[in-house]
Chains A and B, each alone.
Chain A
Amino acid sequence: GNSVTQMEGPVTLSEEAFLTINCTYTATGYPSLFWYVQYPGEGLQLLLKATKADDKGSNKGFEATYRKETTSFHLEKGSVQVSDSAVYFCALKLNYGQNFVFGPGTRLSVLP
């Protein structure tokens, strides 16, 4: 079946540190890949996405590249801020009319 695996959290970093959150997937086909962010007490918001191999999604200083050869979509940011503290979810969707699959989420805490 289709699945998404993310690194275990929580991840705690100091402000301005480099962030990587690993995400790998298993899919029967070529999915679209997404990173969503959930701030405390809120619903999820799309952070970035990529729809085909070698695409790079980017937003608010975050980046992730769709790597078909390693079935990965790791999230990176060069310099995190306290306001980036949230839970980050990696997700995939295969084709038209099919369901989304989310990873378990990774909680990030950024300390001043």
Chain B
Amino acid sequence: EAQVTQNPRYLITVTGKKLTVTCSQNMNHEYMSWYRQDPGLGLRQIYYSMNVEVTDKGDVPEGYKVSRKEKRNFPLILESPSPNQTSLYFCASSREVTSGGSDTQYFGPGTRLTVL
């Protein structure tokens, strides 16, 4: 079954304690990205990756890091989480096409993060 998986699904942590949210896809997609969803703000893209070792900032990258060492995995790293990073996070992947923008994005189930 084609899917994007995220772990953990729920996480409560404290300010300053480094954490990693994993994301994995089994569709051999080139394009992967991370979003955060906040009430009234919709989805905002944090980082995206065109392929292995190629990453770029989205609209709200501050306080986050990513890496793309393998095509299937795209972890999101919070080196020193703060309460304003409390949010619902989604990972997504898609096949990138050279014209007409991207193909369909497939979203993971979400990770609800609370930073105290």
Chain A interface (Cβ within 8 Å of chain B)? 31-32, 34, 36, 42-46, 49, 51-52, 89, 91, 93-97, 99-105
Q: A99-B56, A104-B40, A104-B41 given as contacts; is B107 within 8 A of A32 (CB)?
A: no
Chain B contact residues: over half helix, strand or loop, or mixed? Answer: loop
Q: A43-B108, A45-B107 given as contacts; is B42 within 8 A of A96 (CB)?
A: no
Q: In the complex, which of the residues B33, B97, B104 contacts A46, with contact meaning CB atoms closer than 8 Å?
A: B104
Residues in B neighbouring A96, C-beta threshold 8 A: 96-99, 101-102
CB distance B42 to A104 under 8 Å?
yes
Shortest C-beta distance, B82 to chain A (Å), equals 23
A95→B102 CA distance, assembly (Å): 8
Q: Flag whether B45 is at the interface (Cβ < 8 A).
A: yes
Give how many B residues have a beta carbon under 8 Å from the other chain's beta carbons.
29
CB distance A101 to B50 under 8 Å?
no
Q: Flag whether B14 is at the interface (Cβ < 8 A).
A: no
Render B87-116 as a binary contact track against A, CB cut-off 8 A, 1 for contact.
000101000111111101101111000000
Q: A99-B56, A101-B59 given as contacts; is B43 within 8 A of A52 (CB)?
A: no
Q: A44-B90, A46-B105 given as contacts; is B45 within 8 A of A99 (CB)?
A: yes
Residues in B neighbouring A52, C-beta threshold 8 A: 100
CB distance B48 to A51 under 8 Å?
no
Residues in A neighbouring B40, C-beta threshold 8 A: 104
Residue of B nearest to A105 (CB): B42
CB distance B109 to A43 under 8 Å?
yes
Shortest C-beta distance, B101 to chain A (Å), equals 3
Residues in B neighbouring A102, C-beta threshold 8 A: 35, 42-45
Residues in A neighbouring B109, C-beta threshold 8 A: 42-43
Q: In the complex, which of the residues A46, A89, A99 contacts B42, with contact meaning CB atoms closer than 8 Å?
A: A89
A-B contacts, 12 of them at CB < 8 A, read A32-B100, A32-B102, A43-B4, A43-B107, A44-B90, A44-B92, A94-B101, A96-B96, A96-B99, A99-B58, A100-B48, A103-B42
